[in-house]
Amino acid sequence: MLQLHLVTTVADQHAHLSADESRLLHKTTVLHRLVRPWAGTERIVCADSHFANVKVALSLKPAG
């Protein structure tokens, strides 16, 4: 495990969202936070089925 992100209550999560994150699905936001240290490195992200969908993959592409 390289990163850990604790998910708390919905109210707490919404209080800490940036403007960009507020328009994304929750799982997309969590994955972006987890891979942020490696943005721009063109590394491959392997995640479990919770994060597996086309919208998540397409949103990570511009981050590199």
Measured distance CA(14)–CA(3) in Å, rounded: 21
Domain region containing 20 = 10-63
In a domain, 42, yes or no: yes
In a domain, 4, yes or no: no
Task: List all residues 6 or more positions away from 31 whose beta carbon is below 8 Å from its beta carbon.
Answer: 45, 47, 51, 56, 60
pTM greater than the 0.85 cutoff: no
Domains in the chain, number: 1
In a domain, 31, yes or no: yes
In a domain, 18, yes or no: yes
In a domain, 54, yes or no: yes
In a domain, 5, yes or no: no
pLDDT in tens, 10-63: 676 666 667 776 676 677 777 878 888 888 888 888 877 777 778 888 888 887
